[in-house]
Amino acid sequence: MSHIAYVNGRYLPQKHASVHIEDRGYQFADGIYEVICIWNGLPVDYAGHLARLNRSLAELSMRSPASAGALTLILKEIVRRNHIDKGTIYIQVNRGVAPRAHAFPGEGVKPSVVVTAKHGAGSPESVAEAGVKVITAVDQRWDRCDIKSVGLLANALAKQAATEAKAYEALLHTSDGTVTEASVSNAWMVTPDKVIVTHPATQAILGGITRATVIKIARAAGYQVKERPFTLAEARKAKEVFLTGTTTFVMPVVQIDERPVANGAPGTIALDLRQRYRAFMDGLTETAWNV
């Protein structure tokens, strides 16, 4: 079965999909993107993802390529044509095609839009039950990590370092040891007195949509959650460390570099939040498409 992509108004086999050589997304990484988990054929946190996409567009002074209603119809069609039950859809919006020049092109240039889909979402439950290893890396990204830009070279280098170390993720930190997030996920810790801590949604991190939902779920469950910076030293002494993300869900961390976190087993709070988040996904209805 051929994967079907949407490219600037056309649905076509992904192997035949292409963008113009002077598309600014290709030449300048002048574009933004979103990845949305599809669970039981429905989008997870759709309204949040769409709001973040529009925020990123606004921060880069880019025009929206379509109304919320029109974009939703495109995404539903991509899910349908690719027969996605559990998977992801990827949306990329670039500023458009124009002769190569650093300054933005004129108002007549239309944004480019690409939507693709993949089957499969999240790691097997056995991975979460065992917990994962992370390495640490200096955060070398630009200063506007709150914009979901396609300029991801620093993230890719960090993720590659983790892969080479046979680790799940790279925990990013500033020169003073403050943990920002991970290469493709948000970072959390649980203090010895069971307070859940995650970096506030500033320009230093990408405000994860899963992160926001997990905060709501945790607070509704009676956990104390604080949004504040924390350090590597704190993380290494934490009761628990875990990650969240669109396809990460909630993932317990059991090792940072070569040192175990607490007793080296997945934390009970992280596992509880993972199950609560899975229950949230399993409870989605057709209203999940509402914005």
Q: Tokens 């934490």 — which residue?
A: 238
For 237, phi and psi rounded to 5 degrees?
Answer: -100, 5
For the chain, domains (ranges, CATH) are 4-119 (3.30.470.10), 125-282 (3.20.10.10)
Question: Rounded CA gap, 4 and 14, in Å?
Answer: 5
pLDDT for 248: 97
Longest dimension (CA), the chain: 59
pLDDT for 191: 98
In DSSP terms, 243 is beta-bridged to: 187, 251
Question: Rounded CA gap, 203 and 181, in Å?
Answer: 12
Helix (H, G, I), strand (E, B) or coil at 263: coil
**Nearest alpha-carbon partner for 52 in 69, 32, 25:** 32
Which segments in the chain show pLDDT lower than 70? 1-2
Catalytic residues: 148
CA distances from 140 to 174, 204, 209 (A): 8, 11, 23
Q: Tokens 């087993």 — which residue?
A: 265
Average pLDDT, the chain: 97
pLDDT for 1: 54
Question: Rounded CA gap, 86 and 249, in Å?
Answer: 13
Say if CB 160 and CB 174 are below 8 A apart: no
- 245-290 pLDDT per residue, tens: 999 999 999 999 999 999 999 999 999 999 999 999 999 999 999 9
Helix (H) or strand (E) holding 93: strand 87-94
- 109-133 pLDDT per residue, tens: 999 999 999 999 999 999 999 999 9
DSSP secondary structure string for all residues of 219-261: HHTT-EEEE--EEHHHHHT-SEEEEEETTTEEEEEEEETTEES
Angle among Cα 216, 250, 202 to the nearest 5 degrees reads 60
**Nearest alpha-carbon partner for 49 in 245, 284, 282:** 245
